[in-house]
Amino acid sequence: MHQDLVVDAHGIGKEYGRGAARFSALSDVTLQIARGECVAIVGKSGSGKSTLMHVLALLDAPDTGRLSIDGVDTRQLSARQLTTLRNRTFGFVFQQFFLTPGTSVLDNVTLPLEIGGTPPRQRRARGMAVLEQLELADKARSNANDLSGGQKQRVVIARALVGEPSVIFADEPTGNLDSATGAIVEETLFSLNRDRGITLIVVTHDEDLAARCDRQIVLRDGVVVSDSAAVAA
Amino acid sequence: MRATDLVAKAARNTVRSKTRTTLTVLALFVGAFTLTLTTAVGAGVTDYVTKQVDSLGADDVFVVTRTAAATTDGPVAYDPETSSASTGTTAPALPGASGSDPLTEGDLDELAAFDGILSVDPIQVAAVDYVRYDGGSRYELTINPTSSITRSDLVAGEQLDSSAGAGQVMLPSDYVDALGFASAEEAVGSVVTLGITDVLGVQSTVDATIVGVSRESLLSSGAGANTALVADLVEVQSAGVDTGDPRYAIAVARFDADLSADQVSALKADIVDAGYGAQTIQDQLGVIKTVIDGIIGVLNAFAVVALLAAAFGIVNTLLMSVQERTREIGLMKAMGMRSGTVFALFSLEATVIGFLGSAIGAGVAILLGTALNGALAAGPLAALSGLSILLFEPGAILGIILLIMVIAFLAGTLPAARAARKNPIESLRYE
């Protein structure tokens, strides 16, 4: 398990609030995720699973512990290097899509490349290639608002994929979809993991979705209560 | 993020909520429109006055008069040695030259002795009866006494040559048709006949060549005559009769053009101390310029107030926009956009709004102003030929657009800073 770790977290702790309102969102979380794994982080609302995802995705800094991404200790990086690392390494799929209204599907998909500083011509080519794979090429010029829920989530996946990330974080990816379209979106995500070896980290409270992942990490009150990989090991 | 992408994105964002952008742009439009017009009025009037100053005279001369005694310390005791009879009828040929005693030859010698004065020439008045061309109709003509030292606003031809031996005349443009010339250009080079009556009542004529045709001017009027022609006319006028010591209302003292402004002031003070009035052309027009500058300043102040109001409009618009796009900002930050880039994006949006408002405002002001110029020049301001009330200078317009863009940028920094400070996680949770 020590070869090629994408995520290597040791004793992560995170607290919110101050004084009497202080509570511990995460305490002493240690976990390792290897390249190409498909991991579900499961827990009830308030279990700390979202906080864990934010910390792992470098959106939030842990109060204690250390975290290495692709073998790089994140404590050594400047804020600028952190944002660059996030831009290059991660793709995000959110429950609420977060598509920019009034903007074309293609522009939405290529946003991470635009932020990363890719020249327009390459952006377009890669954006179209990704949309092609997700069978959305004919929607490239459409307004992102005019799509159905399932199409929107596939656009979001295309956006997560366009930067060729090594890890995709999916936060309740099917939470806003009916079961039929949800199944299609799930299949798309799993196939990316299966066929292209992209590490998939799914945050969900949906037991069925979690069960389809190779490994489940269960959180309760900010503590890891079970990790199927640890059991298997 | 690449700079070009950043600018393009900011521009695209401004057109995303069209109504709000349009209203903000309109507020800036009013300011830009007003500022463009007031600046153009200022430039137009200043340009006109500058041309008038040129028509009044050269920069290296004082117009010298005897200080009017009545305006200082009450009646002055008569002294046969220094006093000269005041006519009280001397025409105010120049602003500031009115109501003064005549200058005597002695005065001229005294003036010429001042250090820094190169020459002193009296301005002689020649009263011409008429002008005619080629035996045609005769028209009354006034010779502007200071014309030998002034530069005219030319329609055709060239300026008078004071060193020329032959008589030259500068004809006002409205004489061109009357005298039977087809155009101003045709008139130049022709010889006209001037009729003059001498002190004995005998009428005779003097010939002069037209060297130029001048535009009608607000501050000096009449025809111009060079030194040679004036000398001819005065000689004919006096008919060889000795009229006693010559006396002149005004003299022109040329000073060294290399003198600094301070030296000129000192020289002027010396001359004034000696009992004369000395004014440069700039002095004579200083008052007019001050009044014009004051009016333009007040108008500009109104425009700037409008712009300040518009700036608050930008702050408000962008604050709303930042609030509305909280999740978009969170998303962009999650995807690795740096806070500095978020700040740049929103302040650029403000600058784009500023550019739109100012460019449209200035453009419409130019279109409308040009039309207005034509209408005014043909109608109410027809008498002031050569005046275009609105003068649009590219530099000034560029300056206004830049100024408004800077104001818009400054207004945008508050919302932009707020956007840049947003925490990506909280922004993404924001409902």
Choosing among A56, A115, A159, A168, which should be mutated to test the B contact, i.e. which has the most B CBs within 10 A? A115
CA distance B425 to chain A (A): 7
Give CA–CA dist B202/B200, Å, rounded.
Answer: 6
| Residue B420 parent element (H or E) | helix B394-421
**pLDDT for the residue B82:** 58
Question: What per-residue confidence (pLDDT) applies to B16?
Answer: 84
Q: What is the pLDDT of residue B149?
A: 67
The reply to whether A214 falls in a domain is yes
pLDDT tens sequence across A2-29: 568 899 999 999 988 887 888 888 999 9
Cβ of residue B9 closer than 8 Å to a chain A Cβ: yes
Q: Who among A80, A92, A100 is closest to B328 (CB)?
A: A100
Search chain A and give the residue with CA nearest B330. Answer: A98
Q: Pick from B1, B328, B334: which is nearest to A114 by CB?
A: B1
Out of A60, A80, A120, closest to residue B425 by CB: A60
- CB–CB of A92 and B16 under 8 A? no
- A177 pLDDT higher than 70: yes
Q: What is the largest CA-CA distance in chain B?
A: 107
Domain count, chain A: 1
Q: Determine the Cα–Cα distance for residues B305 and A97; give it in Å rounded to an integer.
A: 44
pLDDT at B359: 95
**Residue B424 to residue A59, Cβ atoms within 8 A:** yes
Mean pLDDT of chain A: 89
Q: What is the mean pLDDT of each run of 10 residues along chain B (431 residues)?
A: 90 87 90 89 81 66 67 58 52 44 80 81 81 87 75 81 82 86 87 86 87 76 82 81 72 79 83 80 72 84 85 87 89 91 94 94 94 83 74 91 93 93 85 62
Partners of residue A81 in chain B, C-beta under 8 Å: none
CA distance B367 to chain A (A): 34
What is the distance between the alpha carbons of residues B353 and B25, in angstroms, rounded to a whole number? 6
Residue A210 lies in a domain: yes
Which residues on B lie below 8 Å from A175 (Cβ)? none
Quick one: closest CA in A to B16, which residue?
A102
Assign A231 a pLDDT band (cuts: 50, 70, 90).
low
What is the pLDDT, as a whole number, of residue A130? 92
Hey, which residues does A215 pair with through a beta bridge? A39
DSSP characters over B380-397: TTTTSTT--S----HHHH
Shortest alpha-carbon distance between residue A169 and chain B (Å): 11
Top-confidence residue, B77 or A176? A176
A203 part of a folded domain = yes
Strands A72-73, A64-69: parallel, antiparallel or unpaired by DSSP?
antiparallel
Among A140-144, A163-167, B62-66, B397-401, the range scoring the smallest mean pLDDT is B62-66
Q: Is residue A46 part of a domain?
A: yes
Span A95-117, mean pLDDT?
90
Strand partners, B132: B193
Chain B residues lying within 8 Å of A100, measured CB to CB: 328, 331
- Name the token pair of B148: 């030998």
Tell me whether residue A63 is in a domain. Answer: no
Helices vs strands, H then E, count in chain A: 9, 10
Do the chains contact at B338 and A54, CB–CB below 8 Å? no
Residue A171: is its pLDDT beyond 70?
yes
DSSP letter string, A20-49: GG-EEEEEEEEEEEETT-EEEEE--TTSSH
Residue B98 to residue B89: CA distance in whole angstroms? 9
Nearest CB partner across the interface for A117, out of B2, B12, B425: B2
Arithmetic mean of pLDDT, A73-78: 90
ipTM rounded to 2 decimals: 0.89
Q: Tell me if A87 and B424 make a contact (CB, 8 A cut-off).
A: no
Helix (H) or strand (E) holding B215: none
Does residue A22 sit within a domain?
A: no
CA A110 to chain centre: 17
CA dist B422 to A113, B98, B141, B337, B428, Å? 22, 73, 80, 12, 10
Closest by Cβ to B335, choosing from A79, A115, A120? A115
Instruction: Answer yes or no: is A3 within a domain.
Output: no
Query: Which of A79, A92, A114 shows the shortest C-beta gap to B5?
Result: A114
Residue A124 distance to chain B (closest CA, Å): 13
Q: What is the CATH number of the domain that holds A165?
A: 3.40.50.300
CB contact under 8 A, A102 and B16: yes
Is A110 domain-assigned? Answer: yes
Amino acid in position B259: L
Domain that holds residue A115: 39-58+83-232
